Amino acid sequence: MKTKEYIRKKLNEISDIFPELIFRYQFNENTETHIIEVRPLETYQTNVGYIKCEAELMYDFENEFFPETILFVSEDSLTQITNPEFSIQKQVLLF
CATH code linked to domain 3-89: 3.30.70
- pTM, 2 dp: 0.89
Query: Can you give the pLDDT at residue 77?
Result: 85
Q: What is the mean pLDDT of each run of 10 residues along the chain (95 residues)?
A: 92 94 95 95 89 96 95 88 92 62
φ, ψ at 10 (rounded to 5°): -65, -40
Kindly list the domain boundaries of the chain, sorted by start residue.
Answer: 3-89
Cα–Cα distance between 64 and 10 in angstroms, integer?
13
Q: Which amino acid is at 50?
A: Y
Query: Can you give the pLDDT at residue 15?
Result: 95
Query: Can you give the pLDDT at residue 94?
Result: 59
Query: Can you give the pLDDT at residue 24?
Result: 96
Which are the contacts of 41, defined by CB distance < 8 A and separation ≥ 6?
74, 75, 76
Query: Can you give the pLDDT at residue 73?
Result: 94
